[in-house]
Amino acid sequence: MKLRLFGLTAILATTVLLSTAILLQWKTSHELAREEFIKDAKAETRNEAVVIERAFRSIYENLRTLSSLPGVRELDRHGTNITTEAKVTIQQVYNNLASSVSVSEVYFTPIDFDPDKIDPVTAKREEPALMFDELVLNAGLKMTHEERFNSPEAVKAATTVGPDEVETFEYIQLKDHAAWLKANAATLSAKGTLDVPFIAGPEVITCDNTVYVSSHWNPDRSGIIFSVPYYGVDGELRGMVSAIILTTAIKELIHKGQYALVNTGNSYLATSPSSTIPASALVFAQQSRPDPTLIYSETIAFGVRDWRNPWTIWAGLPNSEFAASKNAILADRTRNTNLLVVGLLTAAALGGLLVSDRLLRQSNALAENARAKGAEAVEAAEHLQALNDDVTRLNLELSTKIKQLSDAQDEIISKGKMAQLGQLVAMVAHEIRNPLGGIRTAAFLLRRKLAAANIDHDSILGRVESGIARCDNIITQLLDFSRSSKPSVELIVLDDWMEKILEEEASSIPAAVNITCNLGLGGASCEFDSQRLRRAIINLVSNAYEAMMDSNKVLSNCVGGVPSISITTRKTGRGVEIEIEDNGPGMTADVLARIREPLFTTKSFGTGLGVPAVEKIAELHGGGLDVATVVGRGTRFTLWMPMRQSSDHQQRAA
């Protein structure tokens, strides 16, 4: 009786201790998951702030550039003295702003502008001196964006179609901006035109009807006006340059649903079209204050300074997103699994205790007839030993399961971080194209001015344009590496397509390289994304001849003295194969082991994304990339994919 009571007490005490330990471990894991969730959310918010700040900075810097143009600083009341060159420059900047950040209109307004007064020259109410709004003017016209871009004068000359363009509210706010600038920035500061004020006002109805023409809903034509002053050569305030952007366009700058763009001084709040901000948190967002009821919520200052009312970014995630996070789910599952295992072990131990008690009582009863019942006593002992063996085995299995759960947790966390890295790479690669647009515009204007002055700088401008093309190529590799969207496939005769792209790219391949084509598919057609596969083939061909170049980019690292590249297509059991082989120096085992790693390269001018991007393109087509190499003899890359893209694979790629 005492032994049975002792065993029962020991089992219950062990169960309580193990359950307490599991709950303490879960609490620690849960808190770590919460900290990791907040840390990742903050890092993501900083990245989002950089993206939005870049768009605002683009507006400010382009307006500041326009305000410092000599033709603008000397602009008369009605803009009649603006030169053709200055007008072309302004048009280019306006087109760039419209393309990069969806600016609707750009106005040049004298500082004494008063829309309530009658202009003695025009006999109408006063208007800005210059207006650039061809991309949104007369929204009812059936003209494409490209037609408006190339024919601004035709847009202005066309008969008005569609709803009236209401400019009253814009003009009232422009008058308010002018009054503020006269009171606070009447003369150019010692820092010059690089530090002019940048201000915005409350949301107003604009004359951009591009969305309103279909919806007839006033919020679809409401937006924000941003202004910077321009000064005469004497440093005195003469007017301001203003850009108007719709709130719908501002919302498109916010890439994720947990963010809001706030200006408390102007009572302005813009959220993403796919906003996930809880309704209860919008009150705090409007006040630019963190919501104390959310696990993650914060407000961060905006990098571009508004001299009147500062802008902030509000961020907040629903608590349900933390509950659905991988780390939180893993912590809960680990707790539940461990409690289940402890419950099973407790039940097994209690069962064992009951069995042991029963066997012990049987042994005591049988002891009186030991000689007659000896065989039964031995059998009972063997059953008891088997039970002990089972308990030992269960303990070992429990240890193994706990180790497997820990390994799985580490793997899930690692995969989650790699996924976040891919998203960051995609976002950074996308945003690099904004400054490239500005560089292209500057190169275009510089080439135009130098040509007009008969100054020959084609070689320098050629290097600039070559650098832009190289940056664009790096961006393409970054996007190929980070994209996981399904390919846009077409049914194409592969060998004919291969011949075409090789002919088109022949000029970019060094003349010394001997290209041999063994296209063995005949007229067979395949389903693939021609744009992505084209980049993959060009990448592999360029890798082949660059591998045969020495440090001075001379084709000398090849077997037999003649650099050669062999391109072969064939049909196999796994689909079609495209094989590209060179007679270069080959790769060592260490290099081959790392060739698929992102950012790994052996070239001084490489990005390390070529092979990973090619492999990603092959995988999105349901195929893969094989690599074979022999040091001193060359390297062979084999890209393979199925002849037809299955619907199951398309869904997985999507």
Residues 436-448 have pLDDT tens digits of 777 778 777 777 7
**Greatest C-alpha distance within the chain:** 133
The residue among 293, 534, 458, 412 whose CA lies nearest residue 282 is 293
pLDDT at position 452 is 75
pLDDT at 207 over 50: yes
On whether both 185 and 174 belong to a single domain, the answer is: yes
The lowest-confidence range among 226-240, 245-259, 407-421, 626-640 is: 407-421
Residue at a domain's end among 287, 320, 353: 320
Contact 199, 307 (CB under 8 A): yes
Q: Find which of 442-456, 499-513, 567-581 is predicted with most confidence, using mean pLDDT.
A: 567-581
pLDDT at position 597 is 86
CA–CA separation, 161 and 412 (whole Å): 57
The lowest-confidence range among 156-165, 186-195, 375-384, 542-551 is: 375-384
Q: Which pLDDT band holds residue 417 (cuts at 50, 70, 90)?
A: very low
pLDDT at 490 over 70: yes
| pTM (two decimals) | 0.53
Q: What average pLDDT score do residues 15-20 get?
A: 91
On whether both 642 and 588 belong to a single domain, the answer is: yes
pLDDT at position 135 is 79
Complete edge-to-edge strand list for the sheet that includes strand 634-641: 514-519, 564-572, 575-582, 634-641, 624-630
On whether both 13 and 134 belong to a single domain, the answer is: no
CA–CA separation, 337 and 84 (whole Å): 76
Q: Which pLDDT band holds residue 384 (cuts at 50, 70, 90)?
A: low
Local structure of residue 229 (DSSP, 8 states): E
Quickly list DSSP for 385-449: HHHHHHHHHHHHHHHHHHHHHHHHHHHHHHHHHHHHHHHHHHHHHHHHHHHHHHHHHHHHHHHHH
Q: In this structure, what CATH number is given to the domain that contains residue 303?
A: 3.30.450.20
Q: Which bin fits 575, alpha (ψ -120 to 50), beta or left (φ > 0)?
A: left
On whether both 44 and 71 belong to a single domain, the answer is: no
Distance set, CA 208 to CA 146, 345, 385, 474 (Å): 17, 71, 87, 36
- In this structure, the dihedral spanned by the alpha carbons of residues 331, 333, 335 and 337, taken in order and rounded to 10 degrees, is -150
pLDDT at 419 over 60: no
CA–CA separation, 118 and 127 (whole Å): 9
User: What is the domain count for the chain?
Assistant: 3
Average pLDDT, the chain: 85
On whether both 346 and 282 belong to a single domain, the answer is: no
On whether both 269 and 383 belong to a single domain, the answer is: no
On whether both 272 and 369 belong to a single domain, the answer is: no
Report the Cα–Cα distance between both ends of the chain, in Å, rounded: 67
The pLDDT tens digits for 209-222 are 888 988 899 999 99
CA–CA separation, 110 and 415 (whole Å): 57
- Domain containing 12 equals 2-48+325-431
HEC profile for 578-641?
A: EEEEECCCCCCHHHHHHCCCCCCCCCCCCCCCHHHHHHHHHHHCCCEEEEEEECCCEEEEEEEE
pLDDT at position 414 is 41
pLDDT at position 467 is 65
Q: Which pLDDT band holds residue 133 (cuts at 50, 70, 90)?
A: confident
438 in a domain, yes or no? no
CA–CA separation, 239 and 237 (whole Å): 6
472 in a domain, yes or no? no
The pLDDT tens digits for 257-273 are 999 999 999 999 999 99
pLDDT at 288 over 70: yes
CA–CA separation, 326 and 28 (whole Å): 15
pLDDT at position 451 is 72
Distance set, CA 265 to CA 179, 204, 268, 312, 518 (Å): 17, 15, 8, 11, 69
Q: Which residue has the tokens 């600016």?
A: 103
Over its C-alpha atoms, the chain yields an Rg (Å, rounded) of 36
Q: Which pLDDT band holds residue 599 (cuts at 50, 70, 90)?
A: confident
Distance set, CA 593 to CA 486, 588, 589, 600 (Å): 28, 9, 6, 11
149 in a domain, yes or no? yes
pLDDT at 418 over 70: no
446 in a domain, yes or no? no
Contact 238, 232 (CB under 8 A): yes
pLDDT at 483 over 80: no
198 in a domain, yes or no? yes
441 in a domain, yes or no? no
CA–CA separation, 86 and 65 (whole Å): 12
Compare 483 and 80 and report the one with higher pLDDT. 80
Token pair listed for 260: 């809001």
pLDDT at position 487 is 82
Distance of CA 220 to the CA centre of its chain: 27
pLDDT at 127 over 90: yes
Token pair listed for 199: 């201000």
On whether both 332 and 263 belong to a single domain, the answer is: no
465 in a domain, yes or no? no
On whether both 254 and 282 belong to a single domain, the answer is: yes
Which residues fall within 8 angstroms of residue 461, CB to CB, at 6 or more apart? Answer: 443, 446, 447, 450
Q: In this structure, what CATH number is given to the domain that contains residue 538?
A: 3.30.565.10
Q: Which residue has the tokens 């950012």?
A: 599
Contact 103, 81 (CB under 8 A): no
Residue at a domain's end among 320, 337, 355: 320
Q: State whether residue 151 is helix, strand or coil.
A: coil
pLDDT at position 415 is 46
The lowest-confidence range among 85-89, 429-433, 535-539 is: 429-433
Residue 167: what residue type?
Answer: E
CA–CA separation, 366 and 354 (whole Å): 18
On whether both 315 and 387 belong to a single domain, the answer is: no
Q: Which pLDDT band holds residue 484 (cuts at 50, 70, 90)?
A: low
194 in a domain, yes or no? yes
Q: Which residue has the tokens 């700058």?
A: 253
Compare 272 and 476 and report the one with higher pLDDT. 272
Q: What average pLDDT score do residues 548-563 get?
A: 79
On whether both 266 and 350 belong to a single domain, the answer is: no
pLDDT at 275 over 80: yes
Handedness of CA 318, 320, 324, 329 (dihedral sign): positive
Q: pLDDT exceeding 70 applies to what percent of the chain?
A: 82
Residue at a domain's end among 431, 466, 498: 431
The lowest-confidence range among 141-150, 234-243, 346-355, 566-575 is: 141-150
On whether both 189 and 70 belong to a single domain, the answer is: yes
CA–CA separation, 486 and 653 (whole Å): 5
